[in-house]
Amino acid sequence: MKVIEGYFYSKDHEWVKVEGNLARIGITDYAQDTLGDVVYVELPEPNSDYQAGEAFGVVESVKAASDLYTPVSGKVADVNGELTDSPEKINEDPYGSWMIAVEMSNSSELNELLSAAEYQKWCAEEG
Pick the CATH number of 8-107 from 2.40.50.110, 3.40.50.300, 3.10.180.10, 2.40.50.100: 2.40.50.100
Question: Per-residue pLDDT for the chain (127 aa), expressed as one digit of tens each?
Answer: 999 999 999 999 999 999 999 999 999 999 999 999 999 999 999 999 999 999 999 999 998 899 999 999 999 999 999 999 999 999 999 999 999 999 999 999 999 999 999 999 999 998 7
Give pLDDT, residue 126.
80
User: Which helix (H) or strand (E) element contains residue 89?
Assistant: helix 89-92
Give pLDDT, residue 122.
95
Q: Report whether 70 contacts 120 (CB < 8 A).
A: no
CB within 8 Å of 92: residues ≥ 6 apart: none
Domain boundaries, the chain: 8-107
Look at residues 104, 107, 101, 97 and name the one whose alpha carbon lies nearest to residue 31. 97
Reported pTM: 0.95
Give pLDDT, residue 27.
97
